[in-house]
């Protein structure tokens, strides 16, 4: 009987916060908060209202043409002071942890794909439509490694491919484990990885649309060109080259990045990135989910198309469903390892505000 009682308590928690201020100072965040039908209906109504008036086509085209300038301006204003370092990465994505190869007897592929519980906690913040994920978790999950069997022929082919790449002259060609972060910003993902993972075979690539952002990474005192390569890249330009060959990466990271891209171009972007993966390599994604606080806060006149908005600073954001992301990745030839919704109730103690956040987290692997 304890479990149903606890569940009812969780569902009513948000309402009690509004009537019992004392509780506001007893909690920072609740994970896996279930929404009532009324709450979801209210969120749907807000979205219908704020998307009832679309921006004219010429304005939409202007935001697309000037997208780079808007992101450059964002990083010129905020530099590295807006987003916090993402130390929660190693809890949510143990593939990035330093001892990734030590746990050969971890969860099976089936168990991993059904783990739909997030362990990150902590308050977030929203400014001008940018809602950051600021978490303070410890890496308390066991490292997870798929135990799928690999035939000797596959191993030989992989070794041959890596030897050939090792003879190349691209940055990180000698590395045994290569990670690319797309949309690196000021380095809030890259530097925690470099600080935490001391694997001598690790090499991290990072790119951003914004020249200003890449400059911030390269000028950071912790930037080490022997372990990292930062470069400017336009994901939406099929002719924009990557510094590494196809089938050379173990991991591609997309943290609140795909949502900033014009929806019509998302499939092409995901397909391009999937070709960079080695067989068995994975794309790790965390991004905005449908009815997140950030979506509900938009006003009329900021909607570009269905679930796609422009912020006051000219940057844009899309809010996904699980099915939409699954379609993008499977169409690119990847197989699902994880696709979950993280619904969280956060409390801003200073402003005495409750915030319902909705994020989607995915792992998709190249067969």
- 250 within a domain of the structure (yes/no): yes
What number is the average pLDDT over the span 104-131? 40
**Considering the domain boundaries, does residue 141 fall inside one?**
no
Q: Burial code of 153-189, b = ≥16 C-beta within 10 A, e = fewer? A: eeeeeeeeebeebeeeeebbbebebbbbbbbbbbbbb
- Please state, in angstroms and rounded to a whole number, the distance separating the CA atoms of residues 180 and 229: 9
User: Rounded CA gap, 121 and 347, in Å?
Assistant: 11
Does some domain include residue 2? no
In this prediction, residues 190-204 reach a mean pLDDT of: 92
Residue 232: inside a domain = yes
Q: Are residues 113 and 336 in contact, defined by beta-carbon separation less than 8 angstroms? A: yes
pLDDT in tens, 330-353: 999 999 999 999 988 877 767 667
What residues contact residue 11 under an 8 Å CB cut-off, 6+ apart? 33, 34, 36
Residue, of 165 and 255, whose pLDDT is higher: 255
- Lowest-confidence range among 103-117, 189-203, 351-365? 103-117
Assess whether pLDDT exceeds 90 at residue 275. Answer: yes
Give the domain CATH number at 285.
Answer: 3.40.50.150
Residue 119: how many other CB atoms lie within 10 Å: 17
- Average of per-residue pLDDT across 88-115: 57
Write the CB contacts of 363 (distance below 8 Å, at least 6 apart in sequence).
93, 95, 112, 282, 283, 284, 285, 336, 337, 338, 339
Structure confidence at residue 37 (pLDDT): 86
- Percent of the chain's residues with pLDDT above 90: 47
Tokens of 75: 């990083």
- CA–CA separation, 186 and 255 (whole Å): 13
Residue listed under structure tokens 């979950």: 340
* Residue 164 pLDDT grade (very low, low, confident, very high; cuts 50, 70, 90): very low
pLDDT of residue 66: 81
CB contact at 8 A, 33 and 7: no
| Pairing between β-strand 308-310 and β-strand 303-305 as defined by DSSP bridges | antiparallel
If one counts the domains in the chain, the total is: 1
Residue with the larger pLDDT of the pair 134 and 238: 238
d(CA 326, CA 363) in angstroms, rounded, equals 10
The average confidence (pLDDT) of the chain is 77
Q: What is the pLDDT of residues 205-221, one digit of tens each?
A: 999 988 888 999 999 99
Q: Is pLDDT larger for residue 137 or for residue 25?
A: 25
Q: Which domain holds residue 84?
A: 58-96+172-289+316-344+359-366
In a domain, 29, yes or no: no
Here the tokens at position 298 are 């938009």
Q: How confident is the model at residue 160 (pLDDT cuts 50, 70, 90)?
A: very low
Residue 72 forms part of a structural domain: yes
Q: In the predicted model, is pLDDT for residue 150 greater than 90?
A: no
**pLDDT at residue number 341:** 94
**Is 51 within the bounds of a domain?**
no
| pLDDT band, residue 134 (cuts 50/70/90) | very low
Residue 98, number of CB atoms within 10 A of its CB: 14
**pLDDT score recorded for residue 223:** 95
Model pTM greater than 0.85?
no
What integer is the mean pLDDT of 181-204? 91
Q: Let me know if residue 301 belongs to a domain.
A: no
Q: What is the mean pLDDT of residues 176-185?
A: 94
Nearest alpha-carbon partner for 297 in 133, 75, 135, 125:
125
Burial of residue 34, with CB atoms counted within 10 A of its CB: 0-12 exposed, 13-18 middle, 19 or more buried: exposed
- Tell me which DSSP letter residue 219 carries: T
Residue tagged 């007897």 (tokens): 105
């Amino acid at each position: 009987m304890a479990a149903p009682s606890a569940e009812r308590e969780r569902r009513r928690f948000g309402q009690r916060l509004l009537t019992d201020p004392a509780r506001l100072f007893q909690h920072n965040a609740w994970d896996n908060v279930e929404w009532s039908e009324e709450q979801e209906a209210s969120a749907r109504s807000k979205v219908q209202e704020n998307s009832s008036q679309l921006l004219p086509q010429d304005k939409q085209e202007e935001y697309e043409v000037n997208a780079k300038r808007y992101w450059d301006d964002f990083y010129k204003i905020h530099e590295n002071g807006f987003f916090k370092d993402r130390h929660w990465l190693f809890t949510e994505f143990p593939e990035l942890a330093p001892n990734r190869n030590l746990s050969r007897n971890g969860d099976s592929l089936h168990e991993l794909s059904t783990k739909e519980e997030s362990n990150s906690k902590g308050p977030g913040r929203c400014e001008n439509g940018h809602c950051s994920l600021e978490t303070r978790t410890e890496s308390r999950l066991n490292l997870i490694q798929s135990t799928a069997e690999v035939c000797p022929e596959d191993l030989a082919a992989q070794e041959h491919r890596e030897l050939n790449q090792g003879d190349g002259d691209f940055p990180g060609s000698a590395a045994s484990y290569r990670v690319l972060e797309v949309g690196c910003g000021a380095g809030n993902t890259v530097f925690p990885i470099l600080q935490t993972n001391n694997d001598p075979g690790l090499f991290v690539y990072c790119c951003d649309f914004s020249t200003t952002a890449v400059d911030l990474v390269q000028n950071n005192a912790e930037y080490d060109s022997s372990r990292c390569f930062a470069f400017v890249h336009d994901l939406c330009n099929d002719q924009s080259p990557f510094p590494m060959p196809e089938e050379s990466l173990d991991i591609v990271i997309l943290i609140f990045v795909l949502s900033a891209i014009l929806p019509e171009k998302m499939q092409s972007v995901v397909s391009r990135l999937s070709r960079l993966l080695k067989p068995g390599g994975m794309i790790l994604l965390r991004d905005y989910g449908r009815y997140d606080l950030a979506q509900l806060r938009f006003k009329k006149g900021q909607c570009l198309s269905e679930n796609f908005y422009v912020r006051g600073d000219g940057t844009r954001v899309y809010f996904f469903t699980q099915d939409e992301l699954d379609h993008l990745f499977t169409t690119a030839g990847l197989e699902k390892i994880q696709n979950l919704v993280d619904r969280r109730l956060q409390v801003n103690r200073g402003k005495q505000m409750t915030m319902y956040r909705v994020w989607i987290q995915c792992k998709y692997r190249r067969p």
